[in-house]
Structure 1
Amino acid sequence: MALDKGYVMEQFHHPRAVMNGRGTAARPTPQREWLLSGISGRVVELGAGDGTKLACYPPGLDEIVIVEADPSLRQAAREAASSVSSPVRVVDGSLTRLPLPDNFADVVICSLMLCSSPRPDATLAEVRRVLRRDGELRFYEHTRSFNPVVAFAEGLITPVWAPACGGCHPARDPLGAIEKVFAIRRLERFSFDHVAHVMGVAT
Structure 2
Amino acid sequence: MSRRGETILDRLHALGEQPLGWSEAEFAEGLLRARARRLAAPRGLSDRVEAGFDVLGARIANERYAFPLEALSEVMLLARWTPVPGQPQYLLGVTNLRGEIRPVLDLHSLLGLTPPAPEARTWVIFLKAGGAEVGVRVDGLDRGVRLDPSAMTRPQESGNGLPQRFISGITPDALILLDTVQLLALDALKDTRVEGLDE
Provide TM-score, normalisation by structure 2: 0.27
Provide TM-score, normalisation by structure 1: 0.27
Higher relative contact order, chain-length normalized (CA < 8 Å, sep 6+): 2
